[in-house]
Structure 1
Amino acid sequence: MAEHKHGEMDITTQEKTFAGFMSMTTKATIGILVFLVFLALIAA
C-alpha cells in the first residue's frame, strides 16, 4: 500500500465546486431575506 503524503492531491475541482456552492447559498440567502422584507412591508 502506498504511503499517504499530505498535500499532493489535486483539489482544484473540489475548490471550484465548493466556491459554486457557497455562491449559490449566499445568493439564495440574500434572495430569501429580500423576499421576507418585501412580505413584511406588504403585510404592515
Structure 2
Amino acid sequence: MAEHKHGDMDINVQTKTFNGFIKAITWCVVAIAILCLFLAVFAS
C-alpha cells in the first residue's frame, strides 16, 4: 500500500470548483436581495 504524503495532492480543480460555487452563491444571494427589495417597494 502506498504511503500518504500530506500536501502532495494536486487540488487545482477542486479549488476552482469551490471558488465558482462561492461566486454563484454570492450572485444568487445578491439577486434575491434585490428582488426582495423591489417587491417591498413596488408590490403594494
TM-score after normalising by structure 2: 0.93
Structure 1 runs (4+) greater than 2 angstroms displaced: none
Unaligned stretches of 5+ in structure 2?
Answer: none
| Counterpart mapping for 1:1-44 below 5 A | 1-44=1-44
Percent identity, aligned pairs only?
50
Q: Residue 43 of structure 1: CA displacement?
A: 2.9
2:23 partner letter: S
TM-score after normalising by structure 1: 0.93
Unaligned stretches of 5+ in structure 1?
Answer: none
Matched pairs, number: 44
